[in-house]
Structure 1
Amino acid sequence: MNSDHYRRELLRKQEQQAAAERKAGDARKKEADKRAAAAKARAAASGTKSEITRRSKHRDAERYEKAANDAAKEAAATQGKVASLAKDIATLQARLSKAEQDEARKQQAEHAAARRRADQDHRQLMARLARTEADVSELREMRPPKAERLRILMLAASSEGDLRVGREQTRIRRATESALHRDLIEFEVKSSATTDDLLDGLVRFRPHVVHFSGHSSKDLLVFENDVDQPHAGVDVGADAFARTLGAVSEPPLLVMLNSCESADQAARLVEQVVPFAIGMSESVEDGTAISYAARFYTSIADGTSLHEAHELGRASLALNGLTGAELPQLFHAADADPRSLTLVVPPDATEATG
């Protein structure tokens, strides 16, 4: 979440706290007034000789005491709400401070990032010009199409419990269930992903696609520890993540970093280890990330090219009235073409190419 979101939430909680404090103050004043009225009624009862008047004043005193006790209970309950809101405010202030620090670092790095993007755009332009002069056979040779399932390793991490990563995994799987080639996709899902889940998944599952959703920046991904309570998570540097992907004999064809400010990492991945990568250019809302990924994988399962699936995912955001259609960025190595790569190949198509 960005700092504006936390500021809005902080203001809302502070307004709720102020209203609760006013309500508690009103209840305490009411309690004091009723107790004073009860004392006055008892004094009046003591000072009269009339038995009828004495009984009436005692009844008044009891009624005032009951109202005072009710007001005291209301004040205590409201004060408890004030204390709970104070905890929420402290948490939001900490998150706002962290978000502001992250955004400040991002602003400081903008010029460097712009230079890197310009350099990459230049390299890609030079590569495209070179490809027009070379034979198509000079493109990188990908894994040959096989009549096998597309294996997708889905890693989700939200150690603090503030992201809807489980919702994202559910949406993706439900969306692909209605796709044309839904039987040709296999998911390995890790909903509280640790670094061991990444290593085990790469070795045992041999994924074609690695999908990460959670917290990130241009320099790191945040995985989880194997614990049962909210925690700070495990920071994994971009270089360490890239080395891990490259450690297996057949690295993934595609890495999707469906997380904030991950475009720089995706750009470096295609330079170092994988032919294709997708990342987000800025902070991204949960709804935007989830909707893009669901449409992307549905399109992949329908047999579209990687480039077409990416564009359809972005288009779905605009069609559904969501912001951030420009955030998902597809990167590819100089010798890899996303327009010609189809990740899901049905058996009859494989036979035809043979």
Structure 2
Amino acid sequence: MSVNQYRSQLNNKRKQRVEAEKKAGEFRTKESKKRAEAAAARAAASKTTTASTAKSKLGEATRKDKDAATAGKDAGRWQSKASTYAREESAIQLKLSRAEKTAADTIERDRKRQEQQTRRLSAGLEAALMSKPSQTLRELRAPKPEKLRLLILGASSEGDIRVGREQKRIRAAVESALHRDRIEFDVRPAATAADLLDGISRFRPHVVHFSGHSDEGFLEFEKDLDERHTGIDVRAGAFARAIQATDTPPLLVLLNSCNSASQIDDLVAKVVPFAIGMADAIEDADAINYAAQFYAAVANGQSINAAHLSGQAALELAGLNGADLPTLASAPDVDPRLTILVEATRQTSFD
């Protein structure tokens, strides 16, 4: 859950606690008032010389005592609610503090990664100035007249992420694009680690897309089970080595999962020219919208960088909060602004 969501929860819980405390105070005031009125009625009964008046005053005192008791119970009930809200408020505050620390750590990691990227680019530019212009960027393998192959892996062993919806939106976005006939899918909605290896070696994808749970050091795949279950954590290093276990490694890896941006620097340094990850926890709607627009732009002949920016813009235009989470990284000797996966006049793939 994001920092903004925790803050919203905290504000709502604080309002509930304040309202409950206000209600408890009102009923305590009512209780005191009714007890004072009961005492006054009993005093009046003791002073009167008329039996009927005394009886009436004592009856009034009894009613006031009952009203006071009811108000006291109501005050206790609201005070109990206020105490519960206060405990929940404290728990949310603790989660918010942790989320803020995680966000601050993520910002610092992004800053360091940006510094590293800048240093790599500077080193590449310096090397380019000392070489021929044709050697400035890596010369990727010549394109062949075949479809761009997109391997989509989705894992949600507990059923808490809408990976099926994401895969449906990606396919629909591509099928509505200009060059829909130039993209081939291998979609695996309950992906296991074996699916990863099989997809890499048999399908030989140009793009590997993963959606599911992840963190800074792992991706969660499913087990080969029919019932809901706890998935299996695959370490980022093992995932990278699986991507490398082919004579035709992919061009791009897109990790559409929480806190995965911390893995992409290693991927572009050792495995693929381009990688995309998420800088923090990302909501389903944000992840789905980004992915759909990214692949729509790719299928419309846009560069990797333009498709990435288009995906971010889609989140902003939809009023979603995660536009700054998708993070693009590239090796120092390639340029995402110049790399087009599907060209307007011919399909480009890099086998």
Same fold (TM over 0.5): yes
Superposition deviation, residue 312 in structure 1: 1.2
Specify whether residues 126 and 183 from structure 1 end up closer, same or farther in structure 2 by C-alpha distance, changes over 3 A only.
Answer: same
Match of 1:319 in 2: 317
Percent sequence identity is: 51
CA contact (8 A) 2:169 2:288 kept: yes
Match of 2:340 in 1: 342
Matches of 1:116 and 1:232 in 2, distance apart?
32
Match of 1:300 in 2: 298
1:122 aligns with 2:106: no
Superposition deviation, residue 137 in structure 1: 2.5
The correspondence for 1:331, drawn from 329, 337, 342, is: 329
Specify whether residues 127 and 195 from structure 1 end up closer, same or farther in structure 2 by C-alpha distance, changes over 3 A only.
Answer: same
Match of 2:68 in 1: none
Specify whether residues 161 and 349 from structure 1 end up closer, same or farther in structure 2 by C-alpha distance, changes over 3 A only.
Answer: closer
Superposition deviation, residue 116 in structure 1: 4.3
Specify whether residues 133 and 325 from structure 1 end up closer, same or farther in structure 2 by C-alpha distance, changes over 3 A only.
Answer: farther
Match of 2:191 in 1: 193
Indicate the RMSD between aligned Cα atoms, in angstroms: 3.2
Matches of 1:214 and 1:200 in 2, distance apart?
19
Output the amino acid matched with 1:166.
Answer: G
Output the amino acid matched with 1:121.
Answer: T
Matches of 1:296 and 1:158 in 2, distance apart?
22
**Structure 1 spans left out of the alignment, 5+ residues:** 16-93
Specify whether residues 337 and 115 from structure 1 end up closer, same or farther in structure 2 by C-alpha distance, changes over 3 A only.
Answer: closer
Superposition deviation, residue 126 in structure 1: 2.8
CA deviation profile, 1:212-249 (whole Å, cap 9, x unmatched) = 00111121111111112222211111111111111211
Match of 2:70 in 1: none
Superposition deviation, residue 110 in structure 1: 6.3
Specify whether residues 343 and 108 from structure 1 end up closer, same or farther in structure 2 by C-alpha distance, changes over 3 A only.
Answer: closer
Secondary structure class of the residue paired with 2:215? coil
Match of 2:147 in 1: 149
Match of 2:242 in 1: 244
Specify whether residues 311 and 136 from structure 1 end up closer, same or farther in structure 2 by C-alpha distance, changes over 3 A only.
Answer: farther
CA deviation profile, 1:117-144 (whole Å, cap 9, x unmatched) = 4233322333244435543422212132
Superposition deviation, residue 279 in structure 1: 0.8
CA contact (8 A) 1:147 1:345 kept: no
Matches of 1:246 and 1:216 in 2, distance apart?
20
Match of 1:178 in 2: 176
Q: How does 1:1-354 map to 2 (within 5 A)?
A: 1-2=1-2, 111=108, 114-131=111-128, 134-138=131-135, 139-345=137-343, 348-349=345-346
Matches of 1:105 and 1:338 in 2, distance apart?
29
**Structure 2 spans left out of the alignment, 5+ residues:** 17-90
CA contact (8 A) 2:7 2:96 kept: no
Q: Which moved more, 1:311-320 or 1:98-107?
A: 98-107
Matches of 1:272 and 1:99 in 2, distance apart?
35
Q: Following superposition, which runs of at least 4 residues in structure 1 exceed 4 angstroms of deviation?
A: 2-12, 96-114
Matches of 2:100 and 2:240 in 1, distance apart?
24
Specify whether residues 101 and 202 from structure 1 end up closer, same or farther in structure 2 by C-alpha distance, changes over 3 A only.
Answer: farther
Specify whether residues 321 and 137 from structure 1 end up closer, same or farther in structure 2 by C-alpha distance, changes over 3 A only.
Answer: same
With normalisation by structure 1, the TM-score equals 0.68
CA contact (8 A) 2:146 2:347 kept: no
Specify whether residues 211 and 100 from structure 1 end up closer, same or farther in structure 2 by C-alpha distance, changes over 3 A only.
Answer: farther
Specify whether residues 107 and 308 from structure 1 end up closer, same or farther in structure 2 by C-alpha distance, changes over 3 A only.
Answer: closer
Specify whether residues 128 and 317 from structure 1 end up closer, same or farther in structure 2 by C-alpha distance, changes over 3 A only.
Answer: farther
Aligned residues: 273
CA contact (8 A) 2:259 2:280 kept: yes
